[in-house]
């Protein structure tokens, strides 16, 4: 502790008010913001390079640490996000290959920090194909006033981040390896910002939650964090892993004009192409698979690495769960995750399922074709009874797909529950003004679906500058933000998230979870217990969730 304190007092050059921090890479200057929640100041160091730009020969390869710079680096503005397609709005390519930057947000100027502060590193979601650590989406206004340091990161996405040819020059999972290097940077540098390198909590949502779980399993990530929060995702989810990465790579190559069968030749071909062409090819492949398999979500995900030396993922997640890093964890989902079906990019799904309900089974589970009619009939009867699929049964369809998306998650939970650190489990069920995806689904529609859709909890943890509407932070909305920010930061500080109520961890003998609405309530039993028990009993003996790739 004394060593960290001495680093805190020597980390700055010049007056504290200048917000200049000195790292091994060089000096950088930050800026000040004011929290919309507490009206107190906090401090940001934006667009810090943690890796060399992954350009040229570094494309598809593991990241290399960033080089030093001369003078004072301007960390008052963010740098580019990683290249992706904006699905929701304009469907155009945005971002850059040069994108391996991170942001650091502190509650006080580093020079005025007496005691090292807990550190929270957020990993954004987006199906491993979208998103960024940008302040526009993940502002620190709610968390840093709780006396923690927040770090948000970019990592390579889609083809550029997850192409896997099983070659030393393209080993796979470089997007996850970016995250590892970012965590190493935090471990090595966060004391200069007033943070405690021995108290780092990683947390993420959707693909970010899956990434957090991957870090629990990967040998590369050991020792880089102390606690973990998984929001709506684990590595066991079928959308979190690609089983046939070589087929996927050649599919991308074909869409880019490659006609050969040699993977070394394919690699050389893809390395010469503009990054934008690769990203467009990846999107075309995803959309083609969504047309072919309309009753599920397809994306480009992590995969097991053929080259074991230096591998992030040397085996399938279910085989690595037994040796997961033993740290305190939080895991949870939202009560209406399946509302994701009703956003624009999935609008065909309900129509297709209504036409042929067997797609629910065939598109989501690997199963003997002879069993499909019986399984489909039982699932439809359980969720819909005598009703048909349609807007009148929107909630039934949402519940079904909430369970399908996260059915496989509970295999990961079984390992966590039986570990040395039983998880704290939650269900976010609040339907309020900041539920972004719910509002997007209901925008200009006759229906007004209630509940917490996928990702709706995020804007009770982060102030959403990107959101086109900004309701007043008052009443129940303020109360939920207060509870969420307190619980997440309490966990980061001491490994126990309790706030207002005693949040108990879930064990095999006493399963329980915290229900988060405008109030907090402990519920005995398993989350979605009856529904998941039905699917488990029906499918486990004969079927397995699978990724279509």
454 catalytically annotated: yes
Q: 142 is written with which tokens?
A: 């709610």
Is residue 117 classed exposed, middle or buried when 0-12, 13-18 and 19+ CB atoms within 10 A define those classes?
A: buried
> How far is residue 410's CA from residue 60's CA, in Å, rounded to a whole number?
32
What residues contact residue 127 under an 8 Å CB cut-off, 6+ apart? Answer: 206, 207, 239, 297, 299, 300, 301
How many other CB atoms sit within 10 Å of the CB of residue 211?
A: 28
> How far is residue 496's CA from residue 487's CA, in Å, rounded to a whole number?
8
> How far is residue 231's CA from residue 156's CA, in Å, rounded to a whole number?
20
> How far is residue 284's CA from residue 158's CA, in Å, rounded to a whole number?
12
Among the listed residues 97, 305, 337, 427, the single catalytic one is: 337
Residues 27, 21: contact at Cβ < 8 Å?
Answer: yes
Residues 204, 231: contact at Cβ < 8 Å?
Answer: yes
206 catalytically annotated: yes
Among the listed residues 132, 139, 206, 210, the single catalytic one is: 206
> How far is residue 202's CA from residue 185's CA, in Å, rounded to a whole number?
14
Residues 389, 399: contact at Cβ < 8 Å?
Answer: no
- Kindly list the distances between the CA atom of residue 390 and the CA atoms of 303, 360, 444, 474, 484, in Å, as whole numbers in the listed order: 36, 14, 18, 36, 34
- Kindly list the distances between the CA atom of residue 359 and the CA atoms of 253, 292, 479, in Å, as whole numbers in the listed order: 29, 11, 41
Region of 237 on the Ramachandran plot (φ > 0 left; ψ -120 to 50 alpha; else beta): beta
Q: Annotate 394-425 with b (16+ C-beta within 10 A) or e (fewer).
A: bebbbbbbbbbbbbbbbbbbebbbebebbbbb
> How far is residue 76's CA from residue 98's CA, in Å, rounded to a whole number?
18
Is residue 255 classed exposed, middle or buried when 0-12, 13-18 and 19+ CB atoms within 10 A define those classes?
A: middle
How many other CB atoms sit within 10 Å of the CB of residue 385?
A: 9
Among the listed residues 454, 463, 499, 506, the single catalytic one is: 454
* Three-class HEC string of 384-399: HCCCCCCHHHHHHHHH
482 catalytically annotated: no
Residues serving a catalytic function are 206, 337, 454
């Amino acid at each position: 502790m004394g060593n960290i304190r001495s680093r805190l007092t020597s980390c700055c050059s010049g007056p504290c008010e200048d917000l200049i921090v000195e790292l091994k890479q060089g000096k950088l200057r930050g800026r000040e913001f004011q929290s919309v929640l507490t009206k107190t100041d906090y401090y940001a160091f934006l667009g810090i390079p943690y890796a060399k730009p992954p350009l040229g020969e570094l494309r598809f390869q593991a990241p290399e640490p960033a080089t030093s710079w001369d003078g004072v680096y301007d960390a008052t503005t963010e740098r580019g996000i990683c290249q992706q397609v904006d699905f929701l709005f304009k469907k155009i390519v945005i971002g850059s290959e040069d994108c391996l930057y991170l942001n650091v947000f502190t509650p006080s100027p580093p020079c005025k920090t007496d005691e090292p502060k807990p550190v929270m590193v957020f990993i954004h979601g987006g199906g491993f194909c979208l998103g960024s650590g940008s302040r526009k989406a993940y502002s620190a206004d709610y968390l840093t006033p709780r006396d923690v340091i927040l770090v948000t990161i970019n990592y390579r996405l889609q083809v550029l981040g997850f192409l896997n040819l099983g070659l030393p020059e393209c080993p796979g999972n470089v997007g996850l390896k970016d995250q590892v290097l970012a965590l190493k940077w935090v471990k090595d540098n966060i004391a200069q910002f007033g943070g405690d390198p021995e108290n780092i909590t990683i947390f993420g949502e959707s693909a970010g939650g899956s990434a957090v779980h991957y870090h629990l399993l990967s040998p590369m990530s050991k020792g880089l964090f102390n606690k973990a929060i998984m929001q709506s995702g684990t590595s066991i989810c079928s959308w979190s892993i690609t089983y046939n990465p070589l087929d996927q790579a050649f599919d991308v190559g074909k869409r880019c004009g490659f006609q050969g069968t040699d993977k070394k030749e394919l690699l050389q071909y893809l390395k010469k192409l503009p990054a934008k062409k690769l990203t467009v090819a990846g999107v075309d492949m995803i959309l083609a698979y969504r047309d072919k398999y309309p009753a599920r979500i397809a994306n480009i995900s992590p995969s097991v690495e053929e080259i074991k030396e230096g591998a992030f993922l040397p085996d399938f997640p279910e085989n690595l769960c037994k040796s997961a890093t033993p740290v305190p964890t939080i895991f949870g989902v939202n009560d209406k995750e399946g509302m994701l079906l009703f956003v624009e990019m999935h609008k065909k799904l309900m129509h297709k399922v209504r036409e042929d309900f067997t797609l629910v089974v065939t598109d989501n589970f690997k199963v003997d074709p002879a069993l499909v009619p019986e399984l489909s009939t039982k699932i439809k009867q359980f969720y819909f009874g005598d009703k048909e699929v349609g807007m009148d049964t929107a909630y039934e369809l949402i519940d079904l797909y909430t369970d399908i998306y996260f059915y496989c998650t509970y295999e990961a939970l079984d390992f966590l529950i039986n570990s040395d650190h039983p998880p704290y489990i939650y269900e976010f069920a609040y339907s309020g003004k900041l539920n972004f995806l719910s509002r997007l689904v209901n925008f200009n529609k006759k229906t007004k679906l209630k509940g917490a859709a996928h990702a709706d909890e995020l804007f009770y943890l982060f102030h959403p500058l990107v959101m086109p509407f900004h309701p007043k932070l008052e009443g129940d909305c303020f109360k939920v933000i207060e509870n969420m920010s307190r619980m997440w930061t309490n966990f980061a500080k001491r490994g126990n998230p309790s706030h207002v109520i005693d949040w108990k961890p879930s064990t095999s003998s006493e399963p329980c979870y915290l229900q988060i609405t405008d109030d907090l309530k402990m519920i005995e039993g398993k989350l979605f217990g009856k529904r998941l028990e039905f699917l488990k009993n029906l499918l486990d003996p004969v079927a397995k969730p699978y990724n279509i790739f």
